[in-house]
Amino acid sequence: MTDIERIEPGKLLSDQLAGAEPDLLREMLGSFIQTIMGAEADALCGADYGQRGSERVNARNGYRHRDFDTRMGTIEVAIPKLRSGSYFPDWLLERRERAERALTSVVATCCLLGVSPGRMEKLVESLGVTSLSKSQVSTMAQDLDEQVETFRTRPLDAGPYAFVAADALVLKVPENGRVINVHCLVATGVNAEGYREILGLQVASGQDGAGWLAFFRDLVARGLTGVQLVTSDAHAGLVTAIGATLP
């Protein structure tokens, strides 16, 4: 744990996501990119997509497709077209490498800390997007929160997972006006296709035996099978949970 705590948790998980099984991250990045572009287009139109109102000044007019090349493969993005004028996401297509790193960091941060409108607004601003309304940011936070929850609870059907690594990240989070330490339990594994995959993420108040046992029971219930080797530290609760769930 000593070495892990010296690493920025968001960057650590961001690096693991970038090197993990690519389809999952591509899907999350693609959905998030489309959500941001849709919100920006709505801001230029003065109203949400399909909504009538006196403040509307423009309207959508289909899409034009562009490829966004990333380390996880190519993501096809559908850029909204406007009836009057044009919209172009320069924050994405003119700054490709920087945008990819920032988007991966956004997804990683949301996986670690959850999503709130305030945090989402700051994360989006890190991409250079500053034209979104509070309601649009709130909608984006809700959409990404659902994506993260789907990712965290998905079936582990790419096994068998012969090799698994488990550890905990200590994070400082605000709660009731004060900052407390929480433990983010993380497990990664190598799936049947040879890709590293993040198997589970759970936040616990402490790194005790009960928390680790519940964590590994959830992994097994979602389909963790074929494990031959688990790499971890010698935390007693963690070792006991591994023995109880992966005999």
User: In the chain, what are the domain boundaries?
Assistant: 13-152, 155-245
Phi, psi of 127 (to 5 degrees): -90, -5
Residue 152 CB-density burial (10 A; 0-12 exposed, 13-18 middle, 19+ buried): middle
- DSSP helix/strand/coil, 21: coil
Q: What is the pLDDT along the chain (247 residues), one digit of tens a residue?
A: 333 333 354 555 556 555 555 566 677 778 888 888 888 888 888 887 777 878 888 888 899 998 887 776 788 889 999 999 889 888 887 777 777 777 776 666 666 556 667 777 777 777 777 666 777 777 777 777 777 788 889 899 988 999 999 998 887 777 777 888 888 899 999 988 888 888 998 888 777 788 899 999 999 999 999 999 999 988 899 999 999 999 8
- DSSP helix/strand/coil, 34: helix
Spatial CA neighbour of 207 closest among 177, 231, 234, 228: 234
Residue 28 CB-density burial (10 A; 0-12 exposed, 13-18 middle, 19+ buried): buried
Is the entire prediction scored with pTM above 0.85? Answer: no
Helices assigned H by DSSP within 58-95: 90-93
